Structure 1
Amino acid sequence: MLLSVLLLHVTALLLANGLPAERGDSGLAEELQALKDRLTIAEKEVKELKDVPRVAFSASLGGNGLVSTKYGQNLIYKDVITNIGDAYNLQTGVFTAPVKGLYYVRFTANAPTSRTMSAVLYKGNSVLLIAHEQPSGEGSDTASNGGAVLLEKGDELHMNLWPNTQIWDNSNRHSTFTVFLLYPVKGEEEGKGEERPKEEPKPEELQALKDRLAIVEKELKELKDVPRVAFSASLGGNGLVSTTFGQNLIYKDVITNIGDAYNLQTGVFTAPVKGVYYVRFTANAPTSGTMSAVLYKGKKVLLIVHEQPSGEGSDTASNGGAVLLEKGDELHMNLWPDTQIWDNSNRHSTFTIFLLYPV
């Protein structure tokens, strides 16, 4: 009887001290491993988001008038609007891709129509895209071209003026050149993280891992919470808008207004966050009168399309660029005195802004 009682006491002690402890170690190991797995995934995502390079360049040719050439020349866009990432060299006029990726390129050229106009995009020594207009008498004209281009790290883009052609610009920025990174393209070996060696679980690690995970997941949420901002509209109406004294343009036929940054009552776009925004606008009008569409940042001219009369017919001009805006900065379009613009339900004259990335 005494032996049985002793055996029961020993069994109870083993159950109290040994077996639950083993289950505790196992549970701790599983919880630690789960936390480590979550932390590894979160840290990898944070690194990938942080490692996306910010590349956005926009400039106008600058100067004060006509640039012409007999033998051809490279164009250096000296009036820099934005150069985040410093990929554009102001001394040479060359944009060098800092990483392999898909880039968006856009350029606009303006010139009198009395002579051939050109603006030619080169990738290295090869023509990639061109804007080229033959003479058409009196007046002026604007042409634009662009596209999405896959570039290797170190690839170079530059603009060229072909022989016996011309281009025109002044401080209002008629002739522009823009490049920005849409997204990087990784090689097969890039982005592969090293596996962490498995370690024996330590109880004191648990709270430290929880704290670290909370910090990383909070940072990840902030990086993912990029505001969605995209606006596009046409002028609307049904015909010609002209003015003697100048007027702000209100684009009433809204196509998209994600983020509600565009005010339909005032025609003003207000940046909801500091960031790099892409702005593009297009204007159409009869060529019997002067056409204009002028982008203002606050009270300052940022970009313009402006065409002199050139007889019967109609014409379309477009301009745009990547612009760094502070939170609260305002953009709006203006029609200059004694000029005109035209639109109808088919949306000839448009205004578009979207956020590339916050800063």
Structure 2
Amino acid sequence: MEAIQSVRLDDENSCLVLLDQTLLPNEKVFFRLSTVEEIWEAIYHLKVRGAPAIGIAAAYGVYLGVKKSEAASFAELSEEFAKVKQYLASSRPTAVNLFWALQRMEDRLKAEADQTVDDIKQAMKEEAEAIRAEDEKVCLAIGEHALSLLEPGWGLLTHCNAGTIATAKYGTALAPMYLGQERGYDFRVYADETRPLLQGARLTAWELQEAGVDVTLICDNMASIVMQEGKVQAVLVGCDRVAANGDTANKIGTSGLAILAKHYGIPFYVCAPTSTIDLNCATGADIPIEVRKSEEITTQWYEQPMAPPNIKTYNPAFDITDHSLVTAIITEKGIIREVTGTARFLSNH
């Protein structure tokens, strides 16, 4: 598969190269970021999005932050690192990969405390590159495990974008679709448009069509009828955070799909790297939900406002799917079929 590399490091020019996902599908533009402030803005404004891609971007961001440091000692470098880490962590509160990647970079920093500043900077680069390379392997493993649950010719429904541009390669929920395409499974994919930011319409439909996958775009409120008509045999979604009890946080609208799938007897699979499992969150009630600006609903996508002036809005970016609605959580380490045993599964792997 010729994957689009949506996040990569240009170390020679000390910058991060990102695919601007806000311009898709009309423009395929890569832009270069050289400051931590620019990387924060790219994460916050969804120019880079998808939990794994956000983590990769943050790791590279930390490296670039320390690379340009003029610190003369570990103590000085560590102090600067802490400020960069705290700043980047404020960009998106829900995606646990962001905090996971930042913490992993800090752990590596501390492990190199007795090295020279130059050696520490090199270690930071190595760790960020390792995070990207490992994510590619994780996505491939998730795809293989998910494919084992699917049959050729099935109709698959997905929500938001959990594809190659949201990760290092393959994606999570889209990984079995790409593998199925390579192996002749002839899946028929239904992609929710995913209001209000239209990640399904702009991103999932675009990248699957680019890969030659049979994909049909539907509005979010059409999911019930395509299930009712027997066009969908499985639902696959990504995930930004999994609580210890198996509750999952994903793009707004996901929990409604899970309820519909339960009603129609359709398996509902959550594709989640183990890095998204947060054992510090006992249940979904402990997961912070990002609430975004009203313009995303009222004006952002329209030539003229599509709502009354000064109307009150509520625009949560994510919702929580109760573990009782999840058929299985698919990780790179295996399939969690007893979703309430998520924490136990992780401890055994």
TM-score, scaled to structure 2: 0.23
More helix by share: 2
Which has the larger share of strand? 1
